[in-house]
Structure 1
């Protein structure tokens, strides 16, 4: 017995030793900060330019409902505001208003692509905006309005950077492309998808693609006070399904225990009781590799020894909805339809579910999960065919292209840590994974906790300082990544 206990103690000591060695030997792989050298100072008019761009209500709608006149006016404004861009670069149009600009370099090999989108989501007419949503307004230190963050802030930052570089007679070593879609907010079918198909026909392969997605997190990541520049290396997929129940109807004065609505409730409970498996995908592995050494000891130990503590890490993430979404495919009811009158028991009920798919799973595996979870219930499952998307491939955070881009971010934002990240929403960048192995998603704006609600919400705004810094960032990114 003593020998057995001694063996157990010895194994525990060895295990603890391995864990401690790995904890203290994990290297800090953060890029070294370099001072960015830029003679460019954003023009005093830059903030006004963004405010003016916001005043064009380029709202996403079904193509048949698209306000083409507003997009026409916006394009006219772009041409007048950035004349050197439009006289220097080649310009093509896809769909009706999606723009593709090409800056011819000294070589057509290894081109790079920058992306943003022109369209914005609608506003709730009943919402109480502090300032008009399309008001052409710079108020104090902020530029207000729909699109300030998503995505006209990035769009106009890129145009300001292009205009400044073009005026300075900049010629890239390699071709640089810029894709500005018209319908990202409703799926990108008439914008980024058409442009990606054009690239495929030309046989183009991009060394690097940059779109929106990750942000600069300020105090949002638990356990880290330092700002973190989150570079999206993948994004989740998207699928919606209708689950329909049928049962005998009748008069509410003589109800049965079961009806279509109670079956719909059973459907919701069954899916709640059978969640998707939680795990760390490659993007989140990279997140922990980059940030692990900067957490407190216990978190650092878990990050360095994921082979032993992955379950603990997943449980910690799962404690909050924002964290849980990073480690599993979500499943949530979003629409219910049933009943025609208060005293009539309906014969039919329908619940719409939306799932955001974790990399490593597919639309097919998600459908199979729904079918298995609901196998004991009399239901009909129908997949929405208007829009569904598998998760994007994961761009390697150990690739030279990622490290090169991370260095650009670090020298422009030297106070920030860098980390790969999984983008929860859909971006136009997903269409470019067939023409590049290195699609990165980063929006160079600083977000505090309450700023996240401004995306697609009320009082959307970006600080003038953030916007001006973004112009310098894009100037550096365009000039250095293309050379």
Structure 2
């Protein structure tokens, strides 16, 4: 027995040493080594901030109900940017889609170079009347108080629209032709799916036979204090995006008076089906979590490195830990969210039809069809009819060794080489999903800094942006546009 215990202890020691050695040797520092060199721009910063603030004041709100759409703010917004950026409008070819989404094209002199596309969106989500008194500054004031710009759209996503326009206006002042063509696309309905904006733009560009070297849209950001154990800020750049689909579950019955109910009403059958789906969670996949972690692993504590370096043994443990938090759970599996349900119109009437909607955010590797089959198998009840509406499959995965990713990485680190850069999976939806057929290199990043508190301001109360963050966004896009347009191609080494 003593020999057996001794052997067991020896094996445990060997295992512990193996796990530790792997945690110290598996990962390499993959961060781009570059000197910080923020470019001083000939920019009137007060005027630039004022132009941005005025754009925040214009209530370009997207509503789920089309009857609530007000076109006038979008007309005003378009007039504002036309007046504010005259060189942009003089130098570009412009096209409007569904009256409000905008596309600008700045031709390049070298037709052998594929153009690049930079994207943003002009619309914002509404502000709930019930939360108005909780805003420290009115949500459409564009107020600048203590070097902070306040209002809906300061983060999501007018910051990108105005930073791009300021940047390219500055470039045009140099009166130098672009070698590579540049497109800017600004959607007017991203917050409600982009069907009349980005979809139409993408269809038009595809008809024109346009292929992009890379596409850059919103998505990631510079996160601070969000990645456990890593003290440095981490810029997460989306290299893929989850898809989504809505499945409607419908149960029909004869109905009647509630005083003579069957054993299970249509609503009861439907409720059981929903529970079955929620209990049939999708398998986990750590591919994207590992991709993100690999990029920053050498800066992470041993407590994080050890399990991630030894997924061959500890993957179930890591998955279980990540599943305990909704945000991390969403990054490792297709999610299930029952969001809508209806039955009869009166409490004493048996429903002749009950229906519910379940929203799925689809991890790359799954598809709309595989999700539907998963649900059919989980419910296993012919009384429940299942149909899908709205949806798009997950995007492909863009490489991290392309010109586009290297440019993004380079100019993030040039602004601040304390910021680490890592690829990640975008769990929400962006307009870029419609452009994946136009380029293999689609990335999602916006130059803003977000801490845990800042994350809550997306679509929330007290959306705000420090003035310095806005100026950094202009510097970032100016450097990106300058190099992308062909003045200098990226030279990088890891």
Output the TM-score relative to the length of structure 2. Answer: 0.91
For the Cα contact (< 8 Å) 1:217–1:446, is it kept in 2? yes
The answer to whether structure 1 residue 313 and structure 2 residue 315 are counterparts is: no
After TM superposition, the structure 1 stretch with the greater mean CA deviation from structure 2, 252-261 or 238-247, is 252-261
Counterpart residue number, 2:122: 118
Aligned equivalent of 1:455, options 449, 455, 458: 458
* Distance across 2 between alignment mates of 1:148 and 1:304: 39
* Distance across 2 between alignment mates of 1:314 and 1:170: 52
After TM superposition, the structure 1 stretch with the greater mean CA deviation from structure 2, 459-468 or 231-240, is 459-468
Superposed counterparts of 1:241-390, under 5 Å = 241-281=247-287, 283-376=288-381, 378-384=383-389, 387-390=390-393
Q: 1:126 Cα shift?
A: 2.7
After TM superposition, the structure 1 stretch with the greater mean CA deviation from structure 2, 149-158 or 308-317, is 308-317
Q: 1:213 Cα shift?
A: 0.2
For the Cα contact (< 8 Å) 1:41–1:472, is it kept in 2? no
For the Cα contact (< 8 Å) 2:38–2:415, is it kept in 1? no
* Distance across 2 between alignment mates of 1:200 and 1:36: 38
For the Cα contact (< 8 Å) 1:60–1:66, is it kept in 2? yes
1:150–1:20: structure 2 CA closer, same or farther, 3 Å change rule?
A: same
For the Cα contact (< 8 Å) 2:38–2:475, is it kept in 1? no
Secondary structure, in 3 states, of the residue corresponding to 2:273?
A: helix
* Distance across 2 between alignment mates of 1:172 and 1:413: 27
Deviations 1:353-375 (A, max 9, x none): 10100011100001011101101
Counterpart residue number, 1:22: 22
Counterpart residue number, 2:146: 140
Q: 1:290 Cα shift?
A: 0.7
Aligned equivalent of 1:213, options 214, 219, 238: 219
Counterpart residue number, 1:394: 397
Counterpart residue number, 1:232: 238
After TM superposition, the structure 1 stretch with the greater mean CA deviation from structure 2, 247-256 or 168-177, is 247-256
Secondary structure, in 3 states, of the residue corresponding to 1:229?
A: strand
For the Cα contact (< 8 Å) 2:250–2:354, is it kept in 1? yes
Q: 1:268 Cα shift?
A: 2.2
* Distance across 1 between alignment mates of 2:459 and 2:164: 21
Q: 1:8 Cα shift?
A: 7.3
* Distance across 1 between alignment mates of 2:425 and 2:166: 29
Deviations 1:261-310 (A, max 9, x none): 222221221112111111123x3331021122222213102222333322
* Distance across 2 between alignment mates of 1:190 and 1:248: 40
Q: 1:260 Cα shift?
A: 2.2
Q: 1:28 Cα shift?
A: 1.1
Q: 1:200 Cα shift?
A: 2.1
Aligned equivalent of 2:207, options 194, 197, 201: 201
Aligned equivalent of 1:413, options 409, 412, 416: 416
Unpaired runs of 5+ in structure 1?
A: none
The answer to whether structure 1 residue 436 and structure 2 residue 439 are counterparts is: yes
After TM superposition, the structure 1 stretch with the greater mean CA deviation from structure 2, 344-353 or 17-26, is 17-26
1:37–1:466: structure 2 CA closer, same or farther, 3 Å change rule?
A: closer
Counterpart residue number, 2:85: 82
The answer to whether structure 1 residue 104 and structure 2 residue 107 are counterparts is: yes
* Distance across 1 between alignment mates of 2:402 and 2:117: 17
* Distance across 1 between alignment mates of 2:210 and 2:4: 65
Secondary structure, in 3 states, of the residue corresponding to 1:210?
A: strand
After TM superposition, the structure 1 stretch with the greater mean CA deviation from structure 2, 185-194 or 208-217, is 185-194
* Distance across 2 between alignment mates of 1:273 and 1:311: 18
For the Cα contact (< 8 Å) 1:248–1:259, is it kept in 2? no
Q: 1:339 Cα shift?
A: 2.4
Secondary structure, in 3 states, of the residue corresponding to 2:46?
A: coil
* Distance across 1 between alignment mates of 2:480 and 2:471: 14
For the Cα contact (< 8 Å) 2:38–2:414, is it kept in 1? no
Deviations 1:33-58 (A, max 9, x none): 42224121642122221111112212
Counterpart residue number, 2:52: 50
For the Cα contact (< 8 Å) 2:216–2:443, is it kept in 1? yes
Secondary structure, in 3 states, of the residue corresponding to 1:188?
A: coil
* Distance across 1 between alignment mates of 2:400 and 2:308: 17
Counterpart residue number, 2:489: none
* Distance across 2 between alignment mates of 1:89 and 1:412: 28
Output the TM-score relative to the length of structure 1. Answer: 0.93
Counterpart residue number, 2:37: 36
* Distance across 2 between alignment mates of 1:102 and 1:314: 45
* Distance across 2 between alignment mates of 1:284 and 1:250: 52
Q: State the aligned residue count.
A: 480
CA RMSD of aligned residues (A): 2.4
